[in-house]
Amino acid sequence: MQVRLAEPRPAGRSATDPPIGYAGNMPFSESDLAALDAAEEVEIETRRSDDAPAHRTIIWVVVDDGEVFIRSYRGPDARWYRETLANPSVALHLDGRRIEGRAVAATDDASVQRTTVRLADKYAGDPGVRSMTTRYLDTTLRIDPA
């Protein structure tokens, strides 16, 4: 029986951080981040367990300090949210772009607060913003590059 030793953790990474591949995930491009930041709405494409597309629906998206966040307006019962929890491989569609990503729960206080502030700023005039910034905070997801 061969025993496999744990690899040393790079400085600044916790045990709960996702593993780093050969070169780590490449960040989203500046043009993709700018397009997501400027977009009023995007479509999220969820995937089935066999990785085939499940469905697409319109959501809001915010960018803060180079990170992409989304939150469910309808809470944990929203179809796209349930499908994303089942298979976190998603794609965001806007302006003919398909931006592939992986959804990660972002329910820590800092991520929830960042997302809430950016949603309130970006969608200030929309009547739906109140619900998005006061309810279902625990459905906050960060989209990491795939």
Domain CATH code at residue 134: 2.30.110.10
Number of domains in the chain: 1
In this structure, what is the dihedral angle of CA atoms 72, 27, 41, 138, given to the nearest 10 degrees?
Answer: 10
Q: Give the model confidence (pLDDT) of 97-111 as tens digits.
A: 999 999 999 999 999
- Given a cut of 60, whether residue 34 has pLDDT beyond it is yes
d(CA 78, CA 76): 6
**Is residue 133 assigned to a domain?**
yes
**Is residue 78 assigned to a domain?**
yes
**Is residue 139 assigned to a domain?**
yes
pTM over 0.85: no
Quote the tokens at residue 80.
Answer: 């796209």
**Is residue 59 assigned to a domain?**
yes
pLDDT at position 52 is: 86
d(CA 55, CA 146): 18
Residue 100's domain comprises 30-145
pLDDT at position 66 is: 96
